[in-house]
Amino acid sequence: MKKGSKTRITVIGAGSWGTTIALLLNENGHDVHLWEFFPEFAERLKRDRENKRFLPGIRIPRSIKITSDIDEALDGTKHMVFVSPSHTMRNVARIVRNSPNFSEDALIVNAAKGLEENTFCRMSEVLNQELPQSMKKIVSILGPSHAEEVSRKMPTSVTVAGKNINLLKHVQRLFMNEYFRVYTNTDLIGVELGVSLKNTIAIAAGICDGLGFGDNTKAALITRGLAEMKRLTKKMGGREQTLSGLAGIGDLIATCMSKHSRNRYVGEEIGKGRKLKDILAEMVMVAEGVRTTKAAVKLGRSKGVELPIAEQVYRVLFYGKSPTKAIRDLMIRKAKKEM
C-alpha cells in the first residue's frame, strides 16, 4: 500500500468473517475498528486477542481496536463494512444509524450473504432501506471466501459489486493484496443473488453426501442448481453471465464441496437422518441457507420461476420429507431439454 493511504475503517460484526476482514484490512495498513454486539464477547476478544469461538488459532493484533460501544466504533469513520447474519442485518443497521457518530456520507460495504426471510430483500437493499445512503454509496464484497482459509492467507478471489464504478475501484484498492484478489462487477443483483441462492444448493449437496451418493450425483446437482440460480437471477433483473463467475459457480463449488461449509454440513446431517432443529441447536455459526431456502422458494413462486431443487430442499427442511424421496422426485420429473 502506498504511503499516506491509511484509511479508518469500522467492521460491524466480529464473527469468523468479520474478524477475518478486520485482519485483512489491518494487514493492508488501515486503521481498523471491530465492533461486536455482545459486550462480554468483545471483552474476551480484547483480552485473548483471539476469536476462540469462531476462529481459533488466529491472533488478532493489538492495532485492531475492539469495542461493543457503537459510538466509539463509528467515531471518525466514513468506511463501514457490515458483516452481520442476514436475519440480524436490519436491526444492526438501525443501531448504526441511531449513533450520533454515524456519517451520512459514509461508504457502506456489505460482506454478508443471504436473503431476508420475509421481505426477500438482498443485504444491500436492507442497508439502503435502513440507512440514508443511496444505492450508489453501497457496495457488496462477496465470493468463495471461507474465513478459515483467508485468515491463514490462502489465495482467494472475490467480487466487489455496486452501481458506482469509482467506488468499486476504491474498495478494490482497500481490500486487495497478494493473497486476496478483488474483481469489480456492476451487477449487484446478480452477485448478491448468486452468493445467497447457492447456499440452498449446498444443503442439497450435503444431503447427497449424507445419503452416501457419489460424484455423479453432486456434479448433476451443482450443474442443475446453477441453472435454477440463473433463472431466478435473470427474472430479478440480474445478469446470467454473473452466475458464471466468482459469485455464482465459484461460490457454488466452494460451498458444495468444502469441509468448512456450514450449509453443506446441515444437509449432510439431514441426509444421515437427523432433525433440523437438533442440528441447528448444536451449531455455533449460522447456516444462512436454511433461511435463504424459505425466501428463495417463496420468491420463486411469486415470480413464476421453477426451482425444483430448492423446492425439494424446502420440503425436506420444513415439512419432514424423506431426503431419499426428494431425490427420487427430482429424478422422475418430466423429461426436458437441457438448454
| pLDDT for the residue 338 | 87
Residues paired with 138 in a beta bridge: 108
pLDDT beyond 60 at 126: yes
**198 catalytic, yes or no?**
yes
Mean pLDDT for the stretch of residues 293-322: 96
**pLDDT band for position 5 (cuts 50, 70, 90):** low
Which CATH superfamily includes the segment(s) 189-331?
A: N-(1-d-carboxylethyl)-l-norvaline Dehydrogenase; domain 2 (1.10.1040.10)
Which residue's C-alpha cell is 483480552? Answer: 47
pLDDT beyond 50 at 75: yes
In this prediction the pTM is 0.94
* Domain extent listing, the chain: 8-186, 189-331
Query: Could you tell me the CA-to-CA distances from 142 to 85, 195, 265 in Å, in that order?
Result: 14, 7, 21
Task: For 129-174, write each residue's pLDDT tens digit.
Answer: 999 998 999 999 999 999 999 999 999 999 999 999 999 999 999 9
Q: Is 212 exposed, middle or buried (0-12, 13-18, 19+ CB in 10 A)?
A: exposed
| pLDDT for the residue 289 | 84
177 residue type, one letter: N
- Say which of 113, 198, 218, 294 is annotated catalytic: 198
pLDDT beyond 50 at 190: yes
Q: Give domain 8-186's CATH number out of 3.30.70.890, 3.40.50.720, 3.65.10.10, 3.30.2350.10.
A: 3.40.50.720
**pLDDT band for position 74 (cuts 50, 70, 90):** very high
Q: Is 40 exposed, middle or buried (0-12, 13-18, 19+ CB in 10 A)?
A: exposed
| pLDDT for the residue 303 | 97
Percent of the chain with pLDDT over 70: 98
